[in-house]
Structure 1
Amino acid sequence: MPLLDVSNLTTRFHTRNGIVHAVEDVSFSVEAGETHGIVGESGSGKSVTCYSLLGLIPMPPGRIHSGKAVFDGMDLLQISDRELMKIRGKRISMIFQDPMTSLNPYMRIRDQITEPLRIHEGIRGKEAESLAIEALAEVGIPDPEKRIAAYPHEFSGGMRQRVMIAMSLITRPELLICDEPTTALDVTVQKQVLDLIRDRQQKLGTAVVFITHDLEVVAQVCDHVSVMYAGRIVESTTKAELFRNPLHAYTRSLLQSIPARHEKGEELYTIPGLPPDTTHPPLGCAFRERNRIGNAELCITDHPPELTEIEPGHFVQNCPGCLA
């Protein structure tokens, strides 16, 4: 039985300009100890999917219309706020995309990193500080005994991200959600952060949901991958199968966009156009207008394609134009 099993999740935002269909009928599962990647362009619904699981969607305007998210036998979408608060930050932790805005600039690192210990385990004072110093040392913060008294602005971007990782792992969570944790980092620091997450995962047996737009990062860290476009999953399979046999035109387009797949001096491939406005989602295939790798003339126009198991464990939207 998966540690986390999400089925038919639908989240929408009711705004003055209409209803934003942010996440539509999304399903995926994560086993203990594995990493499940959710990949797609900005605005595809990746972050909203995970924010919905943790009750971080502002309501209103957000509203979870349907779905289940069963974590260790509990539906995260149905339990009370009080019960969810006991899980969030303790059994499920999250690393947010921008550590500068996620860390409180007015609070010392000591107070922020020990907060989960105070709230969830009742550990305070010297004991909490000692555990926080240990956590900072584990993520490679130099001289943690002194740096723990610093403010966030006294750290570099990479060091702030390490602080966020230490804070998210200090309670030894069973599930870690990483929301593009390496986006603002240079490639050297990015590798250090990815290695750090993988090391912590191996030592603690933590399951990881890794949100990213970078397929090269997916290749490094993920076991299974769900590709999202316009609020829906268009393809889902193992990492090895995704890179060996991508089926959906959007997945193939993303892979074609990887710079390493081009010869030196060759013009980089870019996906034409922009993702559709999810306030007015297309009636049929959402990728039809941008489909240059498949056959757009064959794309479904009168209803959204359904996610179908084409091969064992390999799910893809059954749009003839995107499979062509």
Structure 2
Amino acid sequence: MPLLDVRHLTTRFHTRNGIVHAVEDVSFTVEKGQTLGIVGESGSGKSVTCYSLLGLIPQPPGRIHSGEAIFDKTDLLKASEDQLRKIRGKRISMIFQDPMTSLNPFMKISAQLTEPLALHENLTGKPALHRAIQALEEVGIPNAEERIHSYPHEFSGGMRQRVMIAMALITRPELLICDEPTTALDVTVQKQVLDLIRDRQRKLGTAVVFITHDLAVVSEMCDHINVMYAGRIVETAPKDELFRNPLHAYTRSLLKSIPAAQPKGEPLYTIPGLPPDMSNPPAGCSFQPRNRIGNPDLCLKTVPPLSEITAGHYAQDCPGCLAK
């Protein structure tokens, strides 16, 4: 039985300019100890998918229209706020993209690190502070006993991200969601943060959902990959299979756009055009206007279903996007 089983999740935003179809009919599972990568361009629905699971979508304008997300026999999408509060931050934690906006600038790191311990484990005072200092030491922050009484602005970007990791892991969650945790960091710090997440995962046995637009990161971190485009999963497969045999034109376009994959001296490949406006989603294949690798003339006029093309390898069954 999977740790998390998401079925047919649909999330939309009801705005003055119409309904934005952010996530449409998304299904996936996460096994214990597994690392699942969710990749795609900005606006593809990656973050909204995970925010929906934790009840972090502002309602209104957001609304979860359908689906279920079973976590240890509890449907997260139908759980009460009290039920979610007991799970969120304890059994499921999240590392957000920008630690400067996620950490409270008016509170010392000590108060922010010990808060989940007080809420979920009734641990306060010196025992909580000792655990918080230990958490900072485990993520590689020097002089943790002194630095824990600092404010977020007194840390560098990489150190703030380490604080976020310590905060997410301090309750030893079963599932960790990482929402592009390395986007704002330079390459050296990025590698340190990725190694840190992987090390803590190995020691704690935590399952990880890794949201990113960086295929190089998922190739290093993940066991299984979901590729999202226009609010839907267009391809899903084990990592090695996906990189060895990408099927959908969008996945092949993403792989082709990796700078390291370009012949030296040749212009960098870019996917032409822009993702569709999801307040007016296309009736058929959403990638058809940008499809230069497959055969756009063969793209379906209705939304292609996600089908098993080879064993364990699923892709939207669109003849134009599967054409090579």
Structures share fold, TM-score greater than 0.5: yes
Q: Which residue number in structure 1 is paired with residue 196 of structure 2?
A: 196
**When the two structures are aligned, how many residues end up with a matched partner?**
323
Structure 2 letter corresponding to 1:320: P
Q: Which residue number in structure 1 is paired with residue 52 of structure 2?
A: 52
String of CA shifts for 1:91-139, please: whole Å, max 9, x gaps. 0000000000000001000000111001111100111000000000000
Residue 7 of structure 1, CA deviation: 0.7
Residue 266 of structure 1, CA deviation: 1.5
d(CA) in 2 for partners of 1:89 and 1:236?
28
Q: Secondary structure at the match of 1:160?
A: helix
1:305-324 to 2 correspondences below 5 Å: 305-324=304-323
d(CA) in 2 for partners of 1:123 and 1:18?
46
Q: Which residue number in structure 1 is paired with residue 35 of structure 2?
A: 35
Q: Secondary structure at the match of 1:65?
A: strand
d(CA) in 2 for partners of 1:200 and 1:2?
21
1:173-322 to 2 correspondences below 5 Å: 173-301=173-301, 303-322=302-321
Structure 1 letter corresponding to 2:246: P
Is 1:165 the equivalent of 2:181? no
Structure 1 letter corresponding to 2:189: V
d(CA) in 1 for partners of 2:181 and 2:247?
28
Q: Which residue number in structure 1 is paired with residue 25 of structure 2?
A: 25
d(CA) in 1 for partners of 2:175 and 2:161?
18
d(CA) in 2 for partners of 1:263 and 1:142?
42
Q: Which residue number in structure 2 is paired with residue 135 of structure 1?
A: 135
1:70-85 to 2 correspondences below 5 Å: 70-85=70-85
Structure 1 letter corresponding to 2:322: L
Q: Secondary structure at the match of 2:49?
A: helix
d(CA) in 2 for partners of 1:114 and 1:195?
24
Is 1:15 the equivalent of 2:15? yes
d(CA) in 1 for partners of 2:289 and 2:44?
16
d(CA) in 2 for partners of 1:29 and 1:189?
30
d(CA) in 2 for partners of 1:129 and 1:243?
44
Residue 262 of structure 1, CA deviation: 1.1
Q: CA RMSD in A?
A: 0.5
Q: Which residue number in structure 2 is paired with residue 4 of structure 1?
A: 4
Residue 263 of structure 1, CA deviation: 2.3
TM-score (norm 2): 0.99
Unaligned runs of 5+ in 1: none
Residue 72 of structure 1, CA deviation: 1.2
d(CA) in 1 for partners of 2:276 and 2:263?
31
Q: Which runs of 4+ in 1 moved over 2 A?
A: none
d(CA) in 2 for partners of 1:23 and 1:132?
36
Q: Secondary structure at the match of 2:181?
A: coil
d(CA) in 2 for partners of 1:117 and 1:264?
52
d(CA) in 2 for partners of 1:72 and 1:200?
22
Structure 1 letter corresponding to 2:317: N
d(CA) in 1 for partners of 2:86 and 2:173?
12
d(CA) in 1 for partners of 2:15 and 2:264?
46
Residue 264 of structure 1, CA deviation: 2.3
d(CA) in 2 for partners of 1:3 and 1:21?
27
d(CA) in 2 for partners of 1:176 and 1:311?
30
Q: Which residue number in structure 2 is paired with residue 100 of structure 1?
A: 100
Identity of aligned residues (%): 77
Residue 39 of structure 1, CA deviation: 0.1
Q: Secondary structure at the match of 1:9?
A: strand
Structure 1 letter corresponding to 2:91: R
Is 1:117 the equivalent of 2:117? yes
d(CA) in 1 for partners of 2:74 and 2:104?
31
String of CA shifts for 1:47-68, please: whole Å, max 9, x gaps. 0000000000000110000001
String of CA shifts for 1:247-294, please: whole Å, max 9, x gaps. 000000000000010122221000000000000000000000000000
String of CA shifts for 1:196-236, please: whole Å, max 9, x gaps. 00001111100000000000000010000000000000000
Q: Secondary structure at the match of 1:260?
A: helix
Structure 2 letter corresponding to 1:164: M
TM-score (norm 1): 0.99
Q: Which residue number in structure 2 is paired with residue 65 of structure 1?
A: 65
d(CA) in 2 for partners of 1:34 and 1:197?
13
Residue 78 of structure 1, CA deviation: 1.1
